Amino acid sequence: MARSKSKRLVDLLTLLLSARYAVSRASIRKLEGYPRGEEAFHRQFERDKAALRELGFPIIEVGDEERDAGYLLERARLKLPDVRLSPEETVALALARRIGGLHSLVGGNVRQALGKLGLIGMAPDSTAGVVAVAPPARAKGEEDRLRLIEGAIARSQRVNLRYRKLGADEVSERAVDPYGLYVHGGGWYLVGHDHLRKATRTFRTSRIEKIARATRGAAADFAAPKDFRIEDYVERMLWGGWKGVKGDVVVRFEPSDAWRIERLAGARIAVKRAADGALLVRFQRANPDSLLAWVATLGRGVTIVEPAALRAEARRSFERVVRAHAGKPR
Amino acid sequence: MAHAPEHIPRLLALVRALVSAKRLPLTQLAEELDVTEAELRADIELLSLCGLPPYGPDNLIDIQVGKDGLVRLSNRVLAPPPLQLTDEEAAGLRLALKLAEAQGWPESRALASAIRKLEHVLLPERREGARRLARRVGVVVDPDDAAGERWLALVQRAIAACASVDMTYYSDGREARTERRVDPYRLVATEHARYLIAFCHLRQAVLTFRLDRILRAKQTAVRFTPPAELEPRDYLGDAPKDAANMVAVTVKFAPSVGRMALESYPAAKATADGGALLKARVWATFAFCRQIVAWGGGAEVLEPAGVREMVRKYARELVTRYEER
Find the residue in B nearest to A95 (Cα). B107
In this predicted structure, what is the pLDDT of residue A167? 66
User: In this model, does residue A249 exceed pLDDT 90?
Assistant: no
Q: What is the rounded average pLDDT of the residues A168-179?
A: 89
In this predicted structure, what is the pLDDT of residue B1? 37
Of B50, B97, B312, the CB nearest to A326: B312
User: In chain B, which stretches have pLDDT less than 50?
Assistant: 1-3
Find the residue in B nearest to A311 (Cα). B322
Q: Which of A216-225, A236-245, B144-153 has the lowest mean pLDDT?
A: A236-245
Q: CA torsion angle for A171, A174, A176, A181 (degrees, to 10)?
A: 0
**Tens-place pLDDT, residues B112-164:** 999 999 999 999 999 999 999 999 998 887 666 655 567 888 998 999 999 99
Is B151 touching A (CB cutoff 8 A)? no
In this predicted structure, what is the pLDDT of residue A185? 78
B286 contacts A133? CB cut-off 8 A: no
Residue A272's DSSP bridge partners are A280
Is B125 touching A (CB cutoff 8 A)? no
Find the residue in B nearest to A231 (Cα). B138
| Pairwise CA distance, residues B294 & B287, whole Å | 11
In this predicted structure, what is the pLDDT of residue A164? 87
| Pairwise CA distance, residues B113 & A9, whole Å | 34
The DSSP secondary-structure symbol of B78 reads S
Which residue in B205, B45, B164, B190 sits closest to B103, CA to CA? B190
User: In this model, does residue A213 exceed pLDDT 70?
Assistant: yes
Find the residue in B nearest to A253 (Cα). B321
Q: What is the rounded average pLDDT of the residues A86-107?
A: 89
Q: How confident is the model at residue A149 (pLDDT cuts 50, 70, 90)?
A: very high
User: In this model, does residue A136 exceed pLDDT 60?
Assistant: no
Mean pLDDT of chain A: 86
User: In this model, does residue A244 exceed pLDDT 50?
Assistant: no
| Pairwise CA distance, residues A10 & A57, whole Å | 12
- Contact list in B for residue A179 (CB cut-off 8 A) is 136
Decide: B77 and A14 in contact? Cβ < 8 Å: yes
Decide: B59 and B51 in contact? Cβ < 8 Å: yes
Mutation pick from A74, A109, A231, A236 vs chain B, by most beta carbons of B within 10 Å, is A109
Is B50 touching A (CB cutoff 8 A)? yes
Mutation pick from B97, B144, B183 vs chain A, by most beta carbons of A within 10 Å, is B144
User: In this model, does residue A129 exceed pLDDT 70?
Assistant: no
> In angstroms, what separates the C-alpha of B264 from chain A's closest C-alpha?
10
What is the pTM for the complete model shown? 0.86
Question: Using CB atoms within 10 A of its CB, is residue A288 exposed (0-12), middle (13-18) or buried (19+)?
Answer: buried
In this predicted structure, what is the pLDDT of residue A85? 93
Q: What is the rounded average pLDDT of the residues A90-106?
A: 89
Q: Which value does ipTM take for this structure?
A: 0.86
In this predicted structure, what is the pLDDT of residue A104? 86
Decide: B253 and B298 in contact? Cβ < 8 Å: yes
> In angstroms, what separates the C-alpha of A23 from chain B's closest C-alpha?
13
Q: How confident is the model at residue A137 (pLDDT cuts 50, 70, 90)?
A: low
**Tens-place pLDDT, residues A76-88:** 899 999 899 999 9
Q: How far is CA A113 from CA B28, B119, B130, B325, in A?
A: 18, 12, 12, 58
Q: What is the rounded average pLDDT of the residues A24-49?
A: 94
| Pairwise CA distance, residues A191 & A227, whole Å | 14
- Provide the residue type at B219 as one letter: Q
Q: What is the rounded average pLDDT of the residues A165-189?
A: 87
Of A97, A112, A299, the CB nearest to B9: A112
Question: Using CB atoms within 10 A of its CB, is residue B146 exposed (0-12), middle (13-18) or buried (19+)?
Answer: middle
| Pairwise CA distance, residues B226 & B221, whole Å | 15
> In angstroms, what separates the C-alpha of A67 from chain B's closest C-alpha?
23
Element (H, E) at A292: helix A288-296
